[in-house]
Chains A and B, each alone.
Chain A
Amino acid sequence: MEAVFLTFVFVLSIFLGFELISKVPSTLHTPLMSGSNAISGITMIGSLASLKADNLTVAVILGTLAVTFATINVVGGYAVTNRMLEMFKKKDDGGAK
């Protein structure tokens, strides 16, 4: 039953994703990629929760590496997306930068 429930969530999310993303203008495709990249760093949640205090050594190493890579993905992804989006300005916005 669990598997069915999770698959249900998966299928609905895919449809939602299609709806949302098809509205993004091509001007913003690069920030979209880096931003969605940052979202895919959500694996970090899983790797955090997997790092239990009573883990075997190998699992600690794997978990720590997973947390490190996922953090790079999350922090770097959001930071670089913000940096890019900051640059998109309209002429009459006045120079914020």
Chain B
Amino acid sequence: MNTMTLPINFAYVISAGLFIFGLKMLSSPATARRGNMLSALGMLLAIVVTLFNAGLDYKWILVGVVIGTAIGLVAAYRVQMTSMPEMVALFNGFGGIASLLLAWGEYHQHPELSVFIALVTFLSAFIGGITFSGSMVAFGKLAEIMPSKAIVFSGQHIVNGAILLAALVSGVIFGMNPSTSYAIFLVIIVVSLLFGVTSVIPIGGADMPVVISLLNSYSGLAACAAGFVINNTILIVAGALVGASGIILTNIMCKAMNRSLANVLFSGFGATTQAAGSGEQQGEIRPATAEDVYYILEAADSVAFVPGYGLAVAQAQHVVQELGELLEQNGSEVSYAIHPVAGRMPGHMNVLLAEANVSYDQLVEMDDINPRMDTIDVCVVIGANDVVNPAALEDESSPIYGMPIIETFRAKTVIVLKRSMNPGFAGIQNALFFNPNTRMYFGDAKASIQALVGEFKSD
């Protein structure tokens, strides 16, 4: 057995290098795909060399690998791009449960643990469990199997605190005497699963980007802890890379909403309709017909589309791209301005538009479009609301005050596509809709844009 250990570990070093190169190449859309391939190659290498370990039970390995590959491939090729957040949540959860099962299996085989190994076994099972059940709840919310609104009840913080305390106490008992604490270990698993559920249910639909990023980070940290359990550096390196990635994304998402992580996790934001800043700022809204909008767009030199989650719901990405093409043929300069938290996960809108063949150099970040907003003739807001609400800049009493927004109100004309005048996720009225330079174009986003495409083509 020892003869193979050294070459296997050297191969792991190469795998780690490939993961790192792969992530580095994700820094540009031009090289990203090759980067992903390199990373996959690193994984394949690690898996193949692991099979050279002595005394493995190949029969069951084969069973697991065949079933897993079949499910993974079918899921990956069947999933709609609009459902990507659900998919990522689901895969995250599977990573978490794998770490939990690994720790459990190791403990079952060798119950005599040192204090350090007991600690990391506890962490691996605990974080893995939270990742799994938390991701399943996130999946349920995103797939709308369960209500996507925040679920809050009185005493929620006390319940969560009690669960966390129970986990820590059982962790300590387990750590002191692991070989006789099998029952305690099972309690830890149950408690971790419970904690995952109770900590994700109070988080509302539009805060999902934060939750998914955080769970992504947890799945990496769980893998890391599992690496400590089995004394394997490749698990630690890979897990730490993923953990870091999740933390960075979580941070970006929180900044883009001007809220702290604690606020996102514990406030139950959006569960109740905030009274602040609503109602009073009524004014006249100016509805527009397809023909009106057509004349406005036809005369525009520059057009910026601002997509939000409504675009995904209406599956309107393809018609939007078609309209964009027609506008370009008509001589307009077309760009797509994307807020960091638009959609249900980081980068959600970018993927949808890329699917519809929008060139990636037309996808513009919020910080790049805002400085030149004054020069843009027409902003077309599709299914976005809070991320374009000027109250975030002007109204100190607004619950979203301080959140960076795409400053569409500074464009010469704003066209807002919307189903009705219902307020958005945060439950606040949007002053943009009453601005003198705003025209409201009511209807289903996809049908509305199709009508515009029709107007352009009939001309």
Assembly CA distance A56 to B109 (angstroms): 7
Contacts of B247 in A (CB 8 A): 18
Contact B248 A33 (CB under 8 A): no
Contacts of B91 in A (CB 8 A): 34, 37-38, 72-73, 76-77, 80
Interface-central residue, A34, A53, A90, by most chain B CB under 10 Å: A34
Report if B354 contacts A (CB, 8 A): yes
Q: How many residues belonging to B are interface residues under a CB distance threshold of 8 Å?
A: 109
* Interface residues of chain B: helix, strand, loop or mixed (majority): helix
Task: List the B residue with the shortest CB-CB distance to A27.
Answer: B350
Contacts of B77 in A (CB 8 A): 79, 83
Contacts of A23 in B (CB 8 A): 24, 27
Contacts of A21 in B (CB 8 A): 23, 241, 244-245, 248-249
For the A-B complex, the count of residue pairs with Cβ-Cβ distances under 8 Å equals 370
Contact A10 B236 (CB under 8 A): yes
Contact B347 A30 (CB under 8 A): yes
8 Å CB interface, B253-305 against A: none
Closest approach, in angstroms, between the C-beta of A85 and any C-beta of chain B? Answer: 4
Interface-central residue, A35, A36, A78, by most chain B CB under 10 Å: A36
Binds A, one of B99-107, B153-161, B446-454: B99-107
Contact B365 A26 (CB under 8 A): yes
Contact B109 A55 (CB under 8 A): yes
Contacts of B22 in A (CB 8 A): 35
Contact A35 B238 (CB under 8 A): no
8 Å CB interface, B215-273 against A: 216, 219-220, 222-224, 226-249, 252
Contact A31 B26 (CB under 8 A): yes
With A31-B36, A46-B227, A64-B64 known as contacts, the answer to whether A80 contacts B242 (CB < 8 A) is no
Closest approach, in angstroms, between the C-beta of A3 and any C-beta of chain B? Answer: 5
Cross-interface CB contact of B244 among A18, A79, A82, cutoff 8 Å: A18
Contacts of B6 in A (CB 8 A): none
Assembly CA distance A27 to B27 (angstroms): 10
Cross-interface CB contact of A46 among B36, B226, B338, B357, cutoff 8 Å: B226
Contacts of A20 in B (CB 8 A): 20, 23-24, 241, 244-245
Closest approach, in angstroms, between the C-beta of A81 and any C-beta of chain B? Answer: 5
Binds A, one of B66-74, B143-151, B415-423, B425-433: B66-74
Contacts of A80 in B (CB 8 A): 75-76, 79, 84, 87, 91
Contacts of A76 in B (CB 8 A): 71-73, 75-76, 87, 91
Cross-interface CB contact of B235 among A45, A53, A85, cutoff 8 Å: A45
Report if B372 contacts A (CB, 8 A): no
A sample of 14 inter-chain contacts (CB < 8 A) reads A6-B233, A27-B363, A40-B239, A48-B50, A49-B232, A55-B57, A65-B97, A65-B101, A66-B64, A68-B64, A68-B68, A73-B98, A74-B47, A89-B360
Excluding A21-B248, A63-B64, A79-B76, 12 further A-B contacts by CB distance (< 8 Å) are: A30-B351, A34-B91, A47-B101, A51-B61, A62-B101, A64-B61, A65-B64, A67-B98, A71-B69, A76-B76, A81-B36, A87-B81
Q: Which chain A residues have a beta carbon within 8 Å of chain B's beta carbons?
A: 2-3, 6, 9-10, 13-18, 20-56, 58-60, 62-91
